[in-house]
Amino acid sequence: MPLRTRLTERFGLEHPIVSAPMAFVAGGALAAAVSRAGGLGLIGGGYGDGDWLDAQFAAAGNQAVGCGFITWSLARQPQLLAQALERRPRAIMLSFGDPAPFAEEVHAAGAMLICQVQTVTQARQALEAGAEVIVAQGSEAGGHGAVRGTTTLVPEIHDLCARCGSDALVLAAGGIADGRGLAAALMLGADGVLVGTCLYAAEEALVHPTLQRAMVAADGDATIRTSVVDIVRNRDWPPEFTIRVLRNALVDRWHGREDVLKAQLADAARCYAEAAAAGDPDESAVIVGEAIGLIDQVRPAAEVISSMVAGAEAQLRGGDRLIVA
Amino acid sequence: MPLRTRLTERFGLEHPIVSAPMAFVAGGALAAAVSRAGGLGLIGGGYGDGDWLDAQFAAAGNQAVGCGFITWSLARQPQLLAQALERRPRAIMLSFGDPAPFAEEVHAAGAMLICQVQTVTQARQALEAGAEVIVAQGSEAGGHGAVRGTTTLVPEIHDLCARCGSDALVLAAGGIADGRGLAAALMLGADGVLVGTCLYAAEEALVHPTLQRAMVAADGDATIRTSVVDIVRNRDWPPEFTIRVLRNALVDRWHGREDVLKAQLADAARCYAEAAAAGDPDESAVIVGEAIGLIDQVRPAAEVISSMVAGAEAQLRGGDRLIVA
């Protein structure tokens, strides 16, 4: 049975679940699979690559999907937004930077603006930019993010919206991989969730199977926030954002020794590129969050979604029964 | 109406809420107030001070309470455990170190053993030591802790207990300050919560009112995990644990410059001691978590507990109604 929230009503979804636009990982097949399963799938526009973007929208076919960008990177090649908007996405998600310069173009094209934030200060900025949806992303999340936890960020941003008289939706992100996480997010005041790590383990994800096997085998203690992976990929991230990855030989070698790494970057970057192409989980980046400890198999995205919803329903019914009449 | 969980049943509580044994802050008056309100109050045995401990058990009067210790510090003066056990506490909570050497003494005295952990690895250790309760403490928490978030740590430790065939209770800690957090914790699989920051703002807490005013005024972006406060207090903490405090002038001056601080420690320590005695929120430590963004008043502990329970019930009833029949 479906869950009904403000998110499902406003977006016409069956389930209050949006998939994270994981750069290079969330292609059209994954986004379409999530939308087909009743959620909203987002293509990972990431740093921006026009040809890749076209190919992934094509792979999504006629399924309604959205698209996400890394805001500071989009600002360097803003024409990519128009390219995405031509494909009539349901929504554009912007993370990691000021969304204001792009809001009008998104709205003019009839798409919803989803802004992912990591602090209350950023949430205020997103509301001022006219975001319809705020994703409150906690530090548990895989990939780029910051330091605040999901448990406090979600209710605090919910309260901020109420104080501002805003009816923007709030989604919880970071650490949510099953029905327990979805149910907990709804209790915190979220209208739904944005999930990445559990879909990194989906069959449709553009991830080498060896990386998926590595994440499934690890427990939640095995990830770390670091800058090593960005240095070695020559990604020029603002220092307030780190990337959560599986702790592996690459990270153990360089984390805390970033200056040494920078001094021999050419060699390290070449080794990284080779390892990434080969799907080497020890010397490339397995970009996942703490929720890997809750994931024990690779399966189709539709199963991830349906089991999450079924689990959430069971938790919510059980929660109501905890109240002594 | 009360909430019934395995915690309330096994401990004979009205509400599934335990108060954190905040060192020097959670005295007998606060612990007794929490127990009187239907939860379980814990005296903050902290680093261990025999006279203070006696005075606080006396202040708790006939109210059943428990007591918590910092494990690595207790190991340096283990006689304090016997002193606490003489007062017939309901439970002894141990955090930050190996609980195994103390488990037998706790159980022989008829007290329950509560172990607070920050990783799955530590949870395994606590189960092996025979803990009846595992507190899964996320990084959102105020005071000492580590890096994993509440959202993932709670369900993962719940699953660990199930896999081990253990019937140990799991409490969620870190970021929980109102009914939304309690309801979310129950959805994550917790049997209850351990709360600190919201009781740092209780009238019964042994905190200078100026520090309480500072925390109430700040939002959740305003805390930070640091080692500065431990350095300046000459507290010899293992490096894997940092302390979350309100970011203030003291922290801004030294965070990231710890080596310089250590080189002029005598002066800095004297200034800190004076500021702490005077209740100066800029130059002493306001030891609170990210949940300060959810707290807007100082009030009696009983009100904190009753509003948390009422809020959780409202959320849980609302959650059940999200399911479309």
Complex ipTM, two decimals? Answer: 0.97
Q: How far is A264 from chain B (nearest CA, A)?
A: 25
Mean model confidence pLDDT for chain B: 97
Burial of B102 (0-12, 13-18, 19+ CB in 10 A): buried
User: Within 13 Å, how many C-alpha atoms sit on residue A55's CB side?
Assistant: 9
Instruction: Please tell me whether the overall predicted TM-score, pTM, comes out greater than 0.95 for this model.
Output: yes
Q: Are B198 and A173 in contact (CB under 8 A)?
A: no
Q: Is residue B243 very low, low, confident or very high in pLDDT (cuts 50, 70, 90)?
A: very high
- Where chain A has pLDDT below 50, the residues are none
Predicted confidence (pLDDT) per residue in A227-280, tens digit: 999 999 999 999 999 999 999 999 999 999 999 999 999 999 999 999 999 999
pLDDT at residue B172 in the model: 98
Q: State residue A1's pLDDT score.
A: 66
Mutation target vs B (from A137, A151, A290, A324; most B CBs, 10 A cutoff): A151
* B113-156 per-position pLDDT tens digit: 999 999 999 999 999 999 999 999 999 999 999 999 999 999 99
pLDDT at res. B48: 84
Mean pLDDT value across residues B166-180: 98
pLDDT band at residue B300 under the 50/70/90 scheme: very high
| B171 has pLDDT over 80 | yes
Are A323 and B3 a contacting pair at CB < 8 A? yes
Model confidence at B56: pLDDT above 80: yes
Distance set, CA A294 to CA A139, B190, B296 (Å):
16, 15, 35
Q: Which residues of B touch A4 (CB under 8 A)?
A: 322-324
Alpha carbons B115 and B125: distance in angstroms, whole number:
10
Nearest to B290 among A152, A176, A317 (CB): A152
* B218 pLDDT higher than 70: yes
Quick check: B1 pLDDT over 80?
no
Q: What's residue A85's pLDDT? A: 98
Q: Do A152 and B293 touch (CB under 8 A)?
A: yes
- Chain B residues in contact with A2 (beta carbon < 8 A): 323-324
pLDDT, residue A324, reads 87
What pLDDT band is residue B320 in, cutting at 50, 70 and 90? confident
Amino acid B206 reads L
pLDDT tens per residue across span B10-45: 999 999 999 999 999 999 999 999 999 999 999 999
Residue B223 CA from chain centroid, whole number: 16
- B133-137/A192-195 β-pairing: unpaired
